[in-house]
Structures are given as structure tokens and as C-alpha cells.
Amino acid sequence: MLVSERTSLTEEIERLVEQYGKDRSSLLPILQAVERKYRYVPDFAMQEIALQLDIHPVEVYSVVTFYSFLHSKPRGRNIVRLCRTIICDISGKENVESAITRELGISFGETTPDKKITLEYTNCLGMCDQGPAMMVNDRVFTRLTPEKAVEILNEIK
Amino acid sequence: MESVYKKTQREGKVLFSSYKRGEGIEKALKLGREDILYELKISKLKGRGGAGFPTATKWMLTAAAKSDIKYIVCNADEGEPGTFKDRVLLTEYPEIVFDGMVIGGYTVGAQKGIVYLRGEYEYMLSFLEDYLKKMREDNLLGKNILGKKDFNFDIIIRMGSGAYVCGEETALIESLEGNRGEARNRPPYPVNTGFMGKPTSVNNVETLASVPKILVKGGEWFAKQGTGKSSGSKLFSISGDCEKPGVYELPWGIKISDLLTIVGAKDTKAVQVGGASGICIPESQFDRTISYEDVATGGSIMIFNKSRNMLHILKNFMEFFVEESCGQCTPCRIGNVKLLEGIEMIENNKFTFSYINQLKELGKTMQVASKCGLGQSSPNAFISILDNFKDEIFNPGKNGGKYVR
Amino acid sequence: MEASMSDKSSTSRSPLSQKGHTIQKQEDLNTIGGSISVEINEKKVSVPFGTTILEACKINQIHVPTLCHHEDLCVAGVCRVCVVEVEGIRTLQAACAFPITSPIKIKTSTPTVRKARKNIIDLLLSEHYGECYSCIRNQNCELQKLAEEYGVDKYTFGHVTKPKYETDKSSLSVIRDMSKCVLCKRCVRTCIDLQEVGVLEAVHRGDQTHISTFMDKPLADVICINCGQCINRCPTAALHANDPSDEIWSAIDDPKKHVVIQTAPSPRAAIGEEFGLGAGHSMTGQLNTALKRIGFDAVFDTNFTADLTILEEGTELLLRLKSALVDKDPNVRLPQFTSCSPGWVKYIEHFYPQYLDHMSSAKSPQQMFGAIIKTFYAKQAGIDPADVVSVALMPCAAKKFECNRPEMNSSGFKDVDYGLTTREMAKMIKEAGIYLPEMPETTFDSPFGEASGAGLIFGATGGVMEAALRTVYELVTGREVPFKNLNIEPCRGFEGIKQASVKLENVREEWKFLEGVEVKFIVAHGTANAKLVMEMLKRGELNDVHFIEIMACPGGCIGGGGQPIPTSEEIRTKRAQAIYSEEERLTVRKSHENPYVKMLYEKFLTDGPCGKLSHKLLHTHYVKRGKYIA
Ligand SMILES: Cc1cc2nc3c(=O)[nH]c(=O)nc-3n(C[C@H](O)[C@H](O)[C@H](O)COP(=O)(O)O)c2cc1C
Ligand code: SF4
Ligand code: SF4
Ligand code: SF4
Ligand code: SF4
Ligand code: FES
């Protein structure tokens, strides 16, 4: 990471710490904000957050790895999460799944070479009445068909 | 692009009846703490998050705990597979949920309410924030609410980050404190030692939503709905093989078969009540009722018709638990893996009945020895599906035909 | 003389995490008279309010198995091995985590309980990679013991055949073999809560959960201070020390090599435990014999260089005081910190590098001895220092790192070749077919034969301070320290942080500037307490303090990371008692009166303490490491 990037990250984290408070209970909102922007929490950011909240870097790492929506390794600019829990699973998830892997040429858990999209599974999105469902970043799309899913992915920048 | 559909299938008498914003708060302030608790007590309202703990008792304990700082937490983590009623309440009826929180704050003496909203529902965050802003403008939140001197209360929203176990109340509190979502030892209970060590009442979205209704219409009225131990009505999240999936408000005590008729389910083989951590009811037991007396549930009803493969369903559940276990305690962390391996053995025809029985015994150990409700309930599906669908799973030829997913 | 005790003992700290308030007394309930009557296995007993079920059972001689529980640490309640039945509660309860606040009925051995425990142990074994007979913890492993207790005769739920994780051998001190980990999190609680270093935590969740470091980096690349406290509390072999005994055996077996060993007092006070003796038996004489029989060519007493350390460090302190009080030198830093604990050295290098100038530049006794052995001793004995292999028996895991520090070669060679822990020494002695307690007692080898008692008490927290005060006070005033039997009680005991002072009056002519000065000192042990001290220093609260002793391990060296397992406050107390009573029997109890030290200054270090040669051989410098993990 470049020095300038580090400085701006530090400043950003300082702002977040100010906003949420210099207390461990601010850890998740801060991590979420960093993740939202970078799609992962860079190792430098974890250390900086630890420093500012007066906790240990490994504790931050431990928290990041605990939650499915936080990541410690770089990923694509957009995160697509397909629900794999039972109702979506029996309502045609498999077809959606193969359509998008074919279309993007990557499997789940991978990122497209142009870093545009990372494909992931997720557990129940709470959209079982409208399955199959998937999340694109923080938006939820339901009643997917293979065709519709691919269309949605094509609209992503 | 409209991404999420509105979906309330049946407007029921209790939660989905008409309600004016702030009505419940007004009533509450008029009643005073003691009377609120009294109304709740006679309403026999039980927590809708799954555990079914009497809400009046929880609030009484929180109110009785000595502390200047207390918290009301709205548990909107809704991670149980097949549950989405809280999503509907929050997006379509935020007024009763938030009013319920304000009333709770008033009753237990809390100054702050925290909504723990699951990360998957981030899309509704700005809507909810706007709604809270409006409440502040109308003095339903903030200082001296509705003119009540010294009643100051505000609500903030905190997001989850994709961890089912954070719906468990102590794991939720850990998460709010910036930790891994690992359930705590109890006692002490959150009502004494909760968020930041302060007395905290954690309530489900639906529980909170019931409170304003109870106050407006009276505890006695509420108690009259439903059956003896199960008062009021219940929101059901119906999904799976039926014509009209969605959220239904139905009275407690409804027969499973009647419910299936209402939602247009045909050719039903099994009903999974209570989500992945619930139990699986076979056709022969469809006359059982949904109530605290018989089959209790936090609201998830998943319907599977005769074409479905029960072992596949079970496997999906167990994969869920293997991943979603917080991993701190032995029975749950390793136990779920063993149960899943057992299912794979069956799939590959590499099992012995004695080992499967051993796994069922393991399941019983997990039910009593796990540290929190996740590991205590994750073997439910394993045990009930293997027991109730023996023939299909262990004697497949008998059923002829193949199952799809 | 006034002695004020700080109330910040290591046990009263509240950890950041949840576990801290697991057992909390509710004030209003406490009025019941403080005790509650409960039924355990149908027997009525009365226990203090808030006692855990586990403690209640222990008081009443009922054994409840445990795995994640450790006396030194806060409650976890995660292994679930200790589950019991409590009447009226559907689920079983973890005895270690359940505080008794009402008159409950407990059953500790019902069929459900026994089956649950057996299942849990079977589950742990199913994921546990390793064979006991080839394991460093064979015969001293809590998992193995549980398996035996519950009559495990087969792997009910299968058994892993391949290690799940690669062993991390990067650290010179601590080896992590996570395929043997049972996830009791004792190491996490040790590293984060007890030591506040914060290297280890559980990462990921569900079946992927394991203990790891920041970004899963090798232990050598993170801010581990090598204290080894996590090893001492690990119930299995998942954490163990980097064992050099094979190399030491080859050196012994090599006729060309002259293998020398120095032994520190703490291992001598504890090694008996490895041979089945209770804690608190000093084995100095027996060990001397055993080491000779094993084949060491010479056995020396580290206390000798402990005395040397006192003279060097004490002189350094007096020089600093002079610079500060007489020369008014703005660059002189006080308080001066002791530097003999390599864990503490690395801690301050990582966490408070801006205060490194406060560190005494004196090397630790181990390293001083190393430098002396390969110079003075080798010359005297007429041996080529290149053929000398210098081993140090230490209670410590960090000593392994210390002797490998690149700057520790002032003799022209690696000053100390191997740091060996008490546990490893015991293993070597056993391998040689020797039962230590049966050995006749013999003395150390010359020319460093005898040491003073001052060096001996280095082993317990406060010991360095006590030894230094005995010498400094006497150097300055010409009189002995004004304490009965020279026992400076305010330095003793296990409070986390001890503070006291001693006034210098009627001083000798050359120390006139110290007349009336009240020397204030602080003694702290465990890096969590070190952190408190450093924060006080940061806040400017210690400007009037002159000397601070810090040991990285709880209890000081007797609780070191290389000491026999298990450890507890009770065991550490007994080890300390063994040291103190051994020292009272000695005739020379002041470092400056050690005749051999005097001899060394006369014959070798002729320009005296803190002189030129001593600076070359006996002093060192530190590295500003910082916290950032690259
Ligand atoms: C694994 C697990 C997940 C849970 N998830 C939720 C949830 O998503 N929402 C909820 O309200 N309660 C959930 N609960 C129940 C809570 O622990 C708690 O009982 C509930 O929030 C209390 O509120 P109530 O009394 O209003 O039901 C969960 C429990 C467990 C063991
Ligand atoms: S039962 Fe499962 S989720 Fe609950 S504490 Fe144990 S491991 Fe965590
Ligand atoms: S850690 Fe314990 S149980 Fe495991 S192999 Fe070693 S001695 Fe045996
Ligand atoms: S040796 Fe000490 S610092 Fe290193 S991991 Fe173990 S407890 Fe932590
Ligand atoms: S490494 Fe040892 S102490 Fe740490 S969790 Fe594993 S078994 Fe427990
Ligand atoms: S010893 Fe009680 S849960 Fe581990």
C-alpha cells in the first residue's frame, strides 16, 4: 500500500472513530464502513483501527474473520451473494447458479479477472417467499430466473 | 428496479389491525410503568423470537435491576432460515415496532434503544433512519417525549454483518460490544448484565410490535386471542411448496393441515416448523397445532411436497449449522460436523445403523450440553427427519421414484 | 521507611472481553449473609454466595472434570466437559461458569451427564491429530487424562489421519501445532487478558474456528514477546517450546566440545515437580550431580552473574542519579528499568519503544554469563572458546530468543548457544535414566562456585529489586538495609504492582548528593501490570520514581514460560518459598560481598562496574520494534 493511501486510510479511520466513539463497541460500524468502501478491510486498516480503539490487531482480525460480511483479503468491486439455503435451493437456485458461473467464467468464491465481481454464497436472506434471491452489494434481488440474474449482473459496473 | 416485493398475505386482527403512530406511546405514558407491566402480564405475551419467555417478566426484571443506564435492544437479526416476518414488520409497519421500543424504554427505564439489524437488510437502513428522523421531529423520540418530563429516549440502528448466531441475545450483545458473536455464559442474564454490562432487555421485532397493540386494546383482549398458553396471534413466514408464500397473521393453535389449506399447499410431504433449528412434521402429524402447547415456533414454516428429497433438505440444514456455529463450544463446533458427515455417509450408502444411532445420541448431548440455543437446537432437524422419514431415507426403493432438490 | 501497596493486583483487573463479568455478585442479593446452602449429589452443603458450582464441588471433594477452566484465567465455559445437572433447568450447566446465587440442587454424575462428557471427549479426540507416545505432553496432558478418566477405548466419531494445520516453527521460543488444539482458548485468555500482549485469538467461525495470529502470520513475525505463558496453560501439546535438547545431546556426545551449563535458581526450585515431587522442593545439589552425570563438563550457578548484574545495574542507577541530581543532565532518564527479563525487553521494544532509554543497559544474568564463559573462563581453563558450547537452564521461553539476538555475541562468538527450559532439562535427565531426587548433592564448579543469596532471589518477583537495594543502600550508606534479616518484605509477595521507598540518610562522603533522598521503587510482574506501570509513566505519575523492576511472567521467573506444567498461584507461591528459605540459609546474601564477583573485577573487569570492558561484555542495546506488523 502506498504511503498516501495509508495516510488517507488513517484519516478516514480517525473520522470514523470520531463519529462512532473511541470504544470497542464502535468496532463493527467502523469495520462495516471500511468494508463498504474497499469491499474488504485492508491489513493496514485493521492495525490502525486497533491502534485507535486501543485493542490488539489480532482481535480486529478475529472479528473480521468471524463475520461473513467482513473480509480480510481484497475482492472485487461488487459482491454478488447468492442464497443457498433450502427454500432458494429448491426454487431454482441451481439454474441461476450455473447461469451466472457460465456467464462470468468463474466459480463461487472467486473474483472476475477484471476485479469487477466476486461471487459468493450466503445463507438465508430472509426472502424465502420470493426465492431464489441474491444480494448485489447491499441490494436484494428476488424471484430470480437464470436470465434475469445474468441481466442484473450485466448492469453492474 | 424494484427489488423486494411487499408481501403480507393475510391482514390479521392483532398486529396488522389499524394503528395510529404514537398511539401506544401516548397510552403508555398515561398508564404509567406499573400498569403497563400489568397489562403485559395479563396479556400473557411471550417472546416471539423463539424462546417464548414472558415479556412482562423480562421487562420487570430489567426495570428492577439497579442501574442508571439501561438498554432496550430490538432483535432484528432474523437469520433463521425461512423467517422473514420481521422484515415485513420493519418495512411495512415500522410504527408499531418503534413505538414498542419507546414503550419498552419507558417501562424499564432505558434511555437508549438499539436495533440490531441483520446485514442482509441493509437495503432498508435508510428508510428506517428516515422514519426515526420523523419520530424525532414529532417528539416520539428525543427529550421529554410527548411532553412527559424527563422521559428521554432515542433509538439507533446497528448493523449485523452476516452471522446467524448473532440473533442469540447474548451473542448479539457481544457483537454490539465489538466482539465475535459468541454467546455468553448465563447467569448473569442480560436483564442484569447486558450491553456494556448494563441491564438490557433484548426483544424480538414482533414482540415489540405487539406491545402498542396490547396497550391500546388491553391485555385482556390480547389474551383472548389464540389458545390458553399461547395468547395473541402469530406472524408466520410461509415458504416452500405452496401457492401463496408470504407472511400471515394467524391465531395460535391453528392446525397444520388448516394452515396448509390457507396457503394453498398441495401434495405436502413435510412441514419444517421453526426453521432449520425447528422440527420436521410428517404428513401423519398434520393435525398437530402450532402453539406453545404443541409445536412452538418463532414463525418459520417451510413446506415441502412429495417430490422433495428429505435427506437433501436435512443436509442443507446441517451445512448451515456447521458454518453458522460460532465455534466456541465443543458439542456444537464438532458435533454439527459429525452429524453432517453422518448424512453424507447415508447419501453414499456408507453408514451403519449403529453409527447413525450413535449420532442421534450425540444429537441429544448437543441439545443439553451446548452453550447456546444454536447447538441446542441444531440436532432437532437431524433427529426428527431421520425418525420421521425413515422409509424414504433408509429404504428408498419402497417409495419408487426419485426425488428432486 | 514507608511501604504503600498498590491495589492493582493482577487478579482484580477486568478483562475487555465478556468473560470478565461472567461471575458477578449482585450487591442487593449479597445481604443474605454471604452464604447459600445448596445440594450437591443429595448432600446439603453451604457455600459463599457467587461460588461457582465447580468450586463448590471442589470444596466438598467432588471431582468435576474440566478442560477450558484455568485458575489463573477468567471463565470461558466453552469446552463443556464440566457439565452438571441443575434441578429445574432443562439443559446441563457448565460447572466452571455457573455462579451459585440461589439454593439449587446439583447432580454431578447422572447418566445424561456422563454420556454428555463422554461424547464431548470423543468429539475432541475425533479432531485431535497426534499419537500420545510421540508427544511432548505424554503423561502430562489434560486431554489424555480426560480420555483415560472416561475410559475412551475407541474413536467413536472417527479420528483425523492428517494434520489440519501446518506446525508453526517460526518462533525461536514457542511452537504452535494447531492440529492438537482443543480450542479451550486458554492461550487466548493468557495472551490477551493475563499478559495483555494480544498475539493469539480465535479466528473464523464454525468448524473453521482455530487459534491464530494477526493475518495468520508466523509467530516470529508478530509481536509475541516469547513469554511462553500460553504454553504453561495449554492443556495439550498444541503449544510447546522450541526444544534444543537434540543439539545439546550431540554437543555432549562430541568429544571435541566443552559443554558448559549455567543453571538459574527458578528451574532448580521447580524441576522436582517433573519428577513427581510436590511444588517447593529445591533440587540445586541433586541437579549439579545429575548434570555432571549426563555429561556436562562444567556446571555454573547463574546467580553468580545475577550478582554481577546487581553491581552493574546498581552502579548504573547510581550514575544516573548522579547525572540527574549533580550534573543536571537533561538526557538522563529515570526511573531506570531492570532488563533481565527478555520477555519484558521485547514487550517494551514493541509497545513502548519511546521509553527504551529508561532500560538499564545491563544484560541479563544469562547473557553476562555467556560472555564471561567464552572469554574469561575459556582463557582460564585454556580452552578455545570456539569449542565451548554454552547452555543455560532457564525457567523461560524467551531466553531462547534472547540468546539468539544478533547483538548477543560480545565474546566474539554466540555468547549463549542454547536456552533450555526446566521441562526440557527434566526430559534430558529422564532420558539419561536418572531419577533426580535420588541424586547425591554436589556443589557448583569453580571458578564461579558460590553466589550470594541476592542472586538466588532473582527468581521471584521483587527479587532483583531486593537484591539491588541491599547493595545500593550499603554502597551509599555503608550500612545494611534496615530490614530484619535483610528481608525487604515490601518487595515480596504476588501483588501485581508493589510500590515502596527507602530513605538514604547519613550517606558516605562520595554519595553526598544522595543525602536525604528517598529512593522510590516499583515492582511489577506480568506484562499486563507492566502496561499499567507504563501508562502511569506516560501520564507523568512516576516522575519521582527511581527504579522499576519488571518481570514479564506472573510471579516472576518462578512462573516462567519454561517451568513445569501445570501452574497456579499456589504452585508459584511454593516455588517462591523454596527460594526464599534456601536463601536465608546462605551466609553471603549481598551481591557486592560475593568473593568471586570481587575476584572477577580484580582479575578481569579491572576498570570496575560500568567500566569499559564491562560495557563491552556485560551491557547491550535495544531495538525499537514498534507495534506495526509488517
Ligand atoms: C441461534 C439463535 C438465533 C436466534 N435468532 C433470533 C433472531 O434472529 N431474532 C430474534 O428475535 N431472536 C432470535 N433468537 C432468540 C433470542 O436469543 C432471544 O431469545 C430473543 O431475541 C428474545 O426476544 P423475545 O423474548 O422477544 O423473543 C435466536 C436464538 C438463537 C439461539
Ligand atoms: S452452541 Fe454453537 S453457537 Fe452456541 S456457543 Fe456453542 S458453538 Fe457457539
Ligand atoms: S496432546 Fe495429549 S492427547 Fe494429544 S497426542 Fe499429545 S499427549 Fe496425546
Ligand atoms: S509467548 Fe506470550 S506473548 Fe507470545 S503468544 Fe504466548 S502468551 Fe502471547
Ligand atoms: S493452543 Fe492450547 S491453550 Fe490454546 S486453545 Fe488450543 S489447546 Fe487451548
Ligand atoms: S471447564 Fe467448564 S466449560 Fe470447560
Chains near B with 3+ CB pairs less than 8 A apart are A, C
Q: What spacing in Å lies between the alpha carbon of C185 and ligand 5's midpoint?
A: 5
For residue C239, which ligand has an atom nearest its CA?
Answer: 5
Q: What spacing in Å lies between the alpha carbon of B243 and ligand 3's midpoint?
A: 57
Q: Is C493 on the interface with B (CB under 8 A)?
A: no
Mutate to test the interface with B, among C79, C80, C128 (most CBs of B within 10 A): C80
Q: Considering only CB atoms, which chain C residues are within 8 Å of A62? A: 201-203
* The three cell numbers locating residue C602: 580484580
| Distance, first Cα to last Cα, chain C | 48
Determine whether C518 is an active site residue.
no
For residue B56, which ligand has an atom nearest its CA?
Answer: 1
Determine whether C441 is an active site residue.
no
CA distance A64 to A35: 10
CA B174 vs. chain centroid, Å, equals: 19
Q: Are strands C497-503 and C2-5 parallel, antiparallel or unpaired?
A: antiparallel
Which DSSP string corresponds to B325-345? S-S-SHHHHHHHHHHHHHHHH
* The three cell numbers locating residue B351: 453408514
Query: For ligand 4, what atom is nearest to the CA of residue C200?
Result: 5
Q: What is the pLDDT of residue B265?
A: 96
* The three cell numbers locating residue C183: 480450542
Q: What is the pLDDT of residue C25?
A: 43
**pTM recorded for the entire structure:** 0.95
CA distance C52 to C96: 6
Question: Which residues 331-390 of chain B have a CB within 8 Å of chain A?
Answer: none
Q: What is the pLDDT of residue C24?
A: 41
Compute the nearest-CA separation of A115 from chain B (Å): 22
Calculate the alpha carbon distances from C153 to B345, C146, C150, C593 in Å.
Answer: 23, 12, 9, 61
Q: What is the pLDDT of residue C496?
A: 95
One pLDDT digit (tens) per residue for chain B, 405 residues? 333 444 566 667 777 788 999 999 999 999 999 999 999 999 999 999 988 999 999 999 999 999 999 999 999 999 999 999 999 999 999 999 999 999 999 999 999 999 999 999 999 999 999 999 999 999 999 999 999 999 999 999 999 999 999 999 999 999 999 999 999 999 999 999 999 999 999 999 999 999 999 999 999 999 998 887 888 889 999 999 999 999 999 989 999 999 999 999 999 999 999 999 999 999 999 999 999 989 988 899 999 999 999 999 999 999 999 999 999 999 999 999 999 999 999 999 999 999 999 999 999 999 999 999 999 999 999 999 999 999 999 987 765 556 665
Q: What is the pLDDT of residue A16?
A: 98
Q: Considering only CB atoms, which chain A residues are within 8 Å of C628? A: 47
Chains near A with 3+ CB pairs less than 8 A apart are B, C
Determine, for residues B370 and C80 on separate chains, whether the beta-carbon distance falls below 8 Å: yes
Q: What spacing in Å lies between the alpha carbon of A10 and ligand 3's midpoint?
A: 45
- pLDDT of residue C574 exceeding 80, the answer is yes
Based on the number of CB atoms within 10 Å of its own CB, is C37 exposed (0-12), middle (13-18) or buried (19 or more)?
Answer: exposed
State percent of chain C over pLDDT 90. 91
* The three cell numbers locating residue C370: 555467556
Question: Which residues 306-325 of chain C have a CB within 8 Å of chain B?
Answer: none
Phi-psi region for residue B233, left (φ > 0), alpha (ψ -120 to 50) or beta?
A: beta
Residue whose C-alpha cell is 528459605? C581
- Strands, E, within B46-165: which ranges? 71-76, 112-117, 154-159
Grouping H, G, I as helix, E, B as strand and the rest as coil, residue B71 is: strand
Q: Give domain C305-362+451-628's CATH number out of 3.90.190.20, 3.40.50.2300, 3.30.1360.120, 3.40.950.10.
A: 3.40.950.10
CA distance C509 to B271: 96
Interacting residues of B382 by C-beta distance below 8 A, sequence separation 6+:
B314, B317, B318, B339, B342, B343, B359, B360, B363
Q: What is the pLDDT of residue B9?
A: 62
Q: What is the pLDDT of residue B62?
A: 97
Phi-psi region for residue B239, left (φ > 0), alpha (ψ -120 to 50) or beta?
A: beta
Phi-psi region for residue C139, left (φ > 0), alpha (ψ -120 to 50) or beta?
A: left
Contact C307, C591 (CB under 8 A): yes
Q: Is A2 on the interface with C (CB under 8 A)?
A: no
Q: What spacing in Å lies between the alpha carbon of B72 and ligand 1's midpoint?
A: 14
Determine whether C557 is an active site residue.
yes
Which residue segments constitute the domains of chain B, with CATH numbers given? 8-223 (3.40.50.11540), 233-305 (3.10.20.600), 310-399 (1.20.1440.230)
- pLDDT of residue C605 exceeding 90, the answer is yes
Length of chain A: 157
* Fold topology of A78-156: Glutaredoxin (3.40.30)
Domain edges within chain C? 26-119, 127-241, 245-303+366-438, 305-362+451-628
For residue B368, which ligand has an atom nearest its CA?
Answer: 2
Q: What is the pLDDT of residue C509?
A: 93
CA distance C233 to B327: 21
Q: What is the pLDDT of residue B226?
A: 81
Residue C427 pLDDT grade (very low, low, confident, very high; cuts 50, 70, 90):
very high
Domain edges within chain A? 3-66, 78-156
Calculate the average pLDDT of chain C: 92
Whether omega before C447 lies within 30 degrees of 0, making that bond cis, reads yes
- Mean pLDDT confidence for C530-548: 96
Q: What is the pLDDT of residue A105?
A: 95
Length of chain B: 405
Which DSSP string corresponds to C138-201? TTS-HHHHHHHHTT--S-TT----S-SS--B--SSSEEE-GGG-----HHHIIIIIIS-----E
- Mean pLDDT confidence for C57-74: 97
Q: Give B235-300 as a 3 state SS string.
A: EEEEEECCCCCEEEEEECCEEHHHHHHHHCCCCEEEEEECHHHCEEEEHHHCCCEECCCCECCCCE
CA C468 vs. chain centroid, Å, equals: 20
Q: Crossing angle of helices B23-31/B33-43, nearest 10°?
A: 110
Closest CA to C458 of C264, C284, C313: C264
Contact B116, B73 (CB under 8 A): yes
Compute the nearest-CA separation of B333 from chain C (Å): 6
Q: What is the pLDDT of residue B51?
A: 86
Compute the nearest-CA separation of A57 from chain C (Å): 6
Residue C31 pLDDT grade (very low, low, confident, very high; cuts 50, 70, 90):
very low
CA distance B95 to B21: 6
| Distance, first Cα to last Cα, chain A | 24
Closest CA to B301 of B360, B364, B258: B258
Which class would CATH give C245-303+366-438? Answer: alpha beta
Contact B52, B298 (CB under 8 A): no
- Mean pLDDT confidence for C425-447: 95
Q: Give domain A3-66's CATH number out of 1.10.10, 1.20.950, 4.10.860, 3.40.50.
A: 1.10.10
Q: Is C222 on the interface with A (CB under 8 A)?
A: yes
Closest CA to B280 of B367, B379, B346: B379
**pLDDT tens string C323-353:** 999 999 999 999 999 999 999 999 999 999 9
CA distance C74 to C65: 17
- Mean pLDDT confidence for C186-199: 97
**pLDDT tens string C244-295:** 999 999 999 999 999 999 999 999 999 999 999 999 999 999 999 999 999 9
* Fold topology of C26-119: Ubiquitin-like (UB roll) (3.10.20)
Q: What is the block-wise mean pLDDT of chain A (157 residues), using blocks of 10 residues?
A: 87 97 97 96 97 97 98 96 96 96 96 96 95 94 96 91
Asked if CATH classification 3.30.70.20 holds for the domain at C127-241, the reply, yes or no, is yes
Measuring from each residue's beta carbon to the nearest atom of ligand 5, which residues come in under 6 Å?
C 181-187, 211, 233-236, 238-239
Determine, for residues B83 and A69 on separate chains, whether the beta-carbon distance falls below 8 Å: no
- pLDDT of residue C19 exceeding 80, the answer is no
Q: Is C221 on the interface with A (CB under 8 A)?
A: no
CA distance C236 to C130: 11
Length of chain C: 630
The neighbour count for residue C587, using CB atoms within 10 Å, is 8
Query: For C511, what's the count of Cα atoms within 13 Å in the CB-facing half-sphere?
Result: 22
Interacting residues of A2 by C-beta distance below 8 A, sequence separation 6+:
none
For atom 8 of ligand 5, the residue with the nearest CA is C184
Helices (H), B303-389: 310-324, 330-347, 353-369, 373-388
Q: What is the pLDDT of residue C448?
A: 85
Q: Are strands B112-117 and B71-76 parallel, antiparallel or unpaired?
A: parallel
Determine, for residues B163 and A142 on separate chains, whether the beta-carbon distance falls below 8 Å: no
Given B118, B176, B239, which is nearest A87 (Cβ)? B239
